[in-house]
A and B are shown apart, each in its own frame.
Chain A
Amino acid sequence: MSGEAVNDVRSPANGRTAASVPVLKTELLTVRFGGLAALSKVNFEVKRDEVCAIIGPNGAGKSTFFNCLTGVLKPTSGRILFDGEDITGLPSNTISQKGIARSYQITNIMPNASALENVRIAAQSRRHAWNMISHHSAFPNINERAEAALRSVGLLDKADQLAANLSHGEQRNLEIGIALATEPTLLCLDEPTAGMSTAETHDTLQLVRRIAKNLTILIVEHDMQVVMELCHRITVLHYGEILADGTPEEIQRNSKVQEVYLKT
């Protein structure tokens, strides 16, 4: 359909990350659903401590890309490297154990458990997971980890509330808290502000900025404005191909991106 894929300006060095080891790298990543190429030959990189975003109009392949990274989908071809290790096609539990965590576009929590139980089960996945003898609340290190995750998403005072009784914005943040509790090195956020009010969006962006201090973060976002001030680097996907890649300023100036976003 649309024209040829052009890998626009790959900005050198990106400032602050001197080491610039790619935490995540995809090589010619391709996913086909029948005849439709949801992703075709995507080469993409996230460097350590970077905050990157993938944006694009609906149907650009953003969620497909995420599903590949987190083992929900197996790519048709291409490779995914995490810390230099090939993780292509591994099941999502293994990928989680290696250090990639994700939050979901559609809230995906355990509604009948309390907020604390939601994050504790995530924290517990790294230690004592097969213990059958002790009470689940008897592990100080798990409790601390769970509390830290709740604290960083601002839900510590709601720890004992059922997740189902939290507001939409709080559930979205709990979603991030669950991901954080697994102590990831790379956190993937799938439209973290979807369905939020302006005030909630603002709070969540603050939250992401806070946790970004010691994490590498990859955000998928539909709304360009949300990621502009947050990210070091933005990649634009369009019909499964990379349309442009660069700093927020470069992306804003890019004529192809403007065209795509104005059209939709």
Chain B
Amino acid sequence: MTTGPLSKSMPLTTKLSHTAVFWIGFCVVMAVLIVAPLVLPEYWRRFLTEILIWGLLAMSSDILIGYTGMVSFGHSAFFGLGMYGAAAALLIVSPPNLWLAILFGLGGAAGAALFVAYFSTRLRDIYFAITTLIFSQIFYVIIFTWTEVTGGENGLIFSRPHFTIPFLYDTRFSTATLHWFVLAVVAGSYVLLRRIMQSPFGMVLQSIRENEARTRAIGYPVERYKIVAVMLSGLFAGLAGVLYAVQNQFAAAEFVFFTTSGDTVIFNVMGGIGTLVGPIVGAGFFQLIRELLSRIFGDQFPYLIPLGVIFIVMIIFLPQGLLGFARRWLNR
């Protein structure tokens, strides 16, 4: 692809082997995740599916945190709107339709993302973070208080849609098939997002992270790129919300509360920002430790205290996160 002397310093063979190694690794992880529900007991099957969903949410926010350099505390809003959008589709249309739920969820998240993006991308750094946090809290308050529509405190309960391919196929989700469906969505999202982050557009986002003023000076309308980045991020966060709604058959206001956004940021930092897979690993790590702590010490145990200590230790000794060391390699 490259011409001239550059192809000497970057021979095709190493490029190929890098790609090969990457996809072999990808296939191995996929194989493990595909086989997992066949060997895991019911509880852990659901647990793994949930990790993937949180991972998708964390991955979506990595687009902003890791690639564009904007820390968003608004992802609970996108996640929640995805969730309530799916709920709307599943409650209104009978029989509940999976694809319609996804469509509604994405629509809800896109609306919220457009609103948040339009106002908050004018600001930078901590001001951006605070603004997104405020917007997500506005959505929380609306959802929490508008009981007639959103169920308020009690949330909404609905039945799980079938997996359908129109006119061809219709089946109930089992925990295993739901896991595979979620896995397919999350893996597909990963491949797509990785490609987008390696595209010219993705390079502009990383350029904004590295040096915003210079990016503008070489001719990029930075605000427009940021708006699209927030929209993209919000869409995938909404997708995670839809999956969560389908998995758990309820939508609750507590997920729109800003602690969800906080968890998302923590997954990112633990797993390694700017890697896309890191946040999934971070989500898994976080959930596993929480699960272990409550298994050992019981449900009432204030698990956040030891988790906080672990988090601090990680920040000190592993500031790039679990996968941060592979950052350049993963993005090549």
Which residues of chain A have a CB within 8 Å of any CB of chain B?
70, 72, 91-94, 96-97, 101-102, 104, 108-113, 116-117, 120-122, 124-126, 128-140, 142-144, 147, 156-157, 159-160, 178-179, 181-182
Contact of B204 among A70, A121, A133, A138 (CB under 8 A): A121
- Answer yes or no: B5 CB below 8 A from chain A CBs: yes
Known: A92-B216, A112-B210, A122-B218. A139 touches B9 (CB 8 A): no
Report B202-217 CB contacts with A as 1/0, cut-off 8 Å: 1110110011011111
C-alpha gap A6/B2 in the complex (Å): 54
* Cα of A136 to Cα of B136 in the assembled complex, Å: 34
Cβ–Cβ contact B1 & A182, under 8 A: no
Contact A93 B216 (CB under 8 A): yes
In the complex, A129→B200 CA distance in Å? Answer: 6
Q: Is the CB of B218 within 8 A of A139?
A: no
Check A130/B216 contact, CB under 8 A, given A143-B3, A147-B6, A160-B9.
Answer: no
Q: How far is the CA of A128 from the CA of B204 in the complex (A)?
A: 11
- B2 close to A143 (CB less than 8 A): yes
B165 CB contacts on chain A under 8 angstroms: none
Interface SS of chain A = loop
Can you list 23 A-B pairs, Cβ within 8 angstroms, ordered by A? A93-B217, A97-B219, A108-B217, A109-B214, A110-B207, A110-B210, A113-B210, A121-B204, A121-B215, A122-B219, A131-B199, A131-B200, A132-B202, A133-B196, A135-B199, A140-B1, A143-B2, A143-B3, A156-B6, A159-B6, A159-B9, A160-B10, A181-B218
Q: How far is the CB of A212 from chain B (nearest CB, A)?
A: 21
Besides the known contacts A122-B219, A182-B219, 14 further A-B residue pairs in the complex with CB atoms under 8 A apart: A91-B216, A93-B222, A96-B216, A110-B210, A112-B210, A125-B218, A125-B219, A129-B204, A130-B200, A132-B195, A135-B199, A138-B1, A159-B5, A178-B214
The answer to whether B2 and A137 have CB atoms under 8 Å apart is yes
Q: Which residues between 207 and 258 of chain B lie within 8 Å of chain A, taking CB atoms?
A: 207, 210-211, 213-222
A178 to B219, CA, bound (A): 11
Give every chain A residue within 8 A of B5 (Cβ-Cβ).
Answer: 147, 156-157, 159
Q: How far is the CA of A242 from the CA of B4 in the complex (A)?
A: 47
Q: Is B137 an interface residue (CB 8 A)?
A: no
Give the shortest distance, in Å, between A155 (CB) and chain B (any CB).
Answer: 12
Is the pair A102, B200 in contact by a Cβ cutoff of 8 Å? no
- Scan B5-33; emit 1 where CB is below 8 A from any A CB, else 0: 11001100000000000000000000000
Q: Which residues of A contact B6 (CB under 8 A)?
A: 116, 143, 147, 156, 159
Q: Does B287 contact A (CB under 8 A)?
A: no
Q: Is the CB of A131 within 8 A of B201?
A: yes
B198 contact set on A, CB distance < 8 A? 135-136
> Which residues of the other chain, A, contact B218 by a CB distance below 8 angstroms?
93, 96, 101, 121-122, 125, 178-179, 181-182
Q: Which residues of B contact A133 (CB under 8 A)?
A: 195-196, 199
* Interchain CB contact (< 8 A) of A139 among B200, B202, B213: B200
Chain B residues in 8 Å Cβ range of A131 = 199-201
Once the chains bind, are A121 and B216 in contact (CB under 8 Å)? Answer: no
Q: Give, as a whole number of angstroms, the nearest-CB distance from B24 to chain A.
A: 19
Q: Could you say which residues of chain B place their CB within 8 Å of the CB of A113?
A: 206-207, 210
Contacts of B216 in A (CB 8 A): 91-93, 96
The 10 closest A-B pairs by CB, nearest first: A96-B219, A125-B219, A110-B210, A122-B218, A132-B201, A131-B200, A136-B203, A132-B199, A97-B219, A132-B196
B214 to chain A, nearest CB (A): 5
For the complex, give the distance between the alpha carbons of A109 and B215 in Å: 10
Q: A135: nearest residue on chain B (CB-CB)?
A: B198
Cα distance A94–B216 in the bound complex, in angstroms = 9
Contacts of B2 in A (CB 8 A): 137, 143, 147
